[in-house]
Chain A
Amino acid sequence: MGRLKGFLWRSDFFPRKLSFSREGKVVVLISIGLGFAAVNTGNNLLYMVFGLSLALILISGFLSEYNIRSIVPGRMGRLRASAGRPASFMLGATNLNKRMSSFGIEVWPLVDGNGVQVEPARFLEMPPGTAADAPGAITFSRRGRYGMHGVVVSTSFPFSFFRKSAVTACSDTVVVHPVVHPIREIDLPAAAEGEDESLPRAGRGFEFFGVRDFRVGDNPRNISHRLSAGRTQLIVREFEQTGNKEVMVALVNVDPGGPDGLERAETAVEIAASVAAHLLGKGRVVGLVSSFDAVSPGSGPAQVERILDYLATVPILELNSPGEEMHVRRMLASLNPGGVVWVRP
């Protein structure tokens, strides 16, 4: 049913979507009862009251159409959202009608998926030919990548019997980050503590690290012409990386089993995100390794975004075997970080 509803909302074939309010359902039920009573009794005054209820429903349909057809929604900026927390957005709308106001307009992004609660941007009245912005909020119950298929313009005006909506198509995705909890302090491994020093790998430092063959994209200034001439191919010099000691957050993203296994795994993802954000906030160089993939170390707000983006979509693996953790360890060994913070479900 939910899939069918989602399909109907995305379908262009039905340009308008209708949903009855509780009051609307009552009115329709009363109308059906009235019609039945009128036909059975032949009471023309009941036909008249029946006609009134049908006229209210019909006119409600026409007017709601007139109310929204001239409303053009504005573009929506990039949405930054964390699971379980309302993410605010501003949405604009323009009333192209030059004569009539539109009343009771609601605008919200059409996002796929279950557990998405939207508090629309509401416009009580949009005078003719005006544009306005209003705040709204959207809450995703789970982290992940959600498809956004358009912006919905909706109204229940004039009688609130039903809600008529129109979708202006656009294609986008919303990445919902895991929740980042505030962390006071983390006990880092001793190897991860310390001042700036040369790190034992190639980078942008000043100390010589080694030579290797030239690859496309290498800085031409690092070419060693003497060695290149001797070997008849381009050789470049490498330098040691200088900076903070790296900390890798090692996430074992597997379902440990049991009734709350998945929940524990999700909590682990949130903790990993919180740890990474905390360390990056302290100015550390942080990377992340999971059983699935890795985010290379980095620092600053961009690195927070990269890690959170990665954690938004990192899958929870079903097998809880020691091999998964070994896989993480192997990846860590290849990276040789200064310190590792393990996060297990």
Chain B
Amino acid sequence: MWHVLKRILGDGIVSEPIPEPATDWYAEEQSIRGEMLAILGRALAIREVDTGSCNGCELEIHALNNPLYNIEGLGIKFVASPRHADLLLVTGPVSRHMEEALRRTYDATPAPKLVVAVGECACTGGLFGESYASCGRVANVIPVDVTVPGCPPPPIDILRGLLAAVKSRPESGDINPHTFSAGFN
């Protein structure tokens, strides 16, 4: 135990400053409604769904939990069920074998159910494209709010995409969360 404490004290706090949100990555067809985000504030529960990635994107999403990015310190955490999630973080082209699982996950997520597509494959279909086995990009299967490009995008870009998704939090506290239906479907 002594060694553990010594190491922790020796390291101190290594977390780095928060990056700017990447608002230019809003998907064209979907723009995020400010009132939905008012409900969320900046606390955010994410359900990660891999629908066919090479697992490179997963490695970089994992990295967000390391002490340098310290994503939980920003009020953002990964949760174990879509029913607990505000946002789906989707990687990979959508393989046809994962198409129904992704739809069901989306249906199980309560509104406002933001969707962030992470990585080249999720944004465009990438190298794998569309085929007998692949539906291509995530937007071909469910609506997407923000796309984060890169193969894979570095953690800082994934964080900027997430912050873009939760950005427009109003400064004043005059929005009554009860006027919006959180909804369960």
Q: Do A and B come from one complex?
A: no
- Enumerate chain A interface residues (CB-CB to B < 8 A): none
Binding site for A on B (CB under 8 A): none
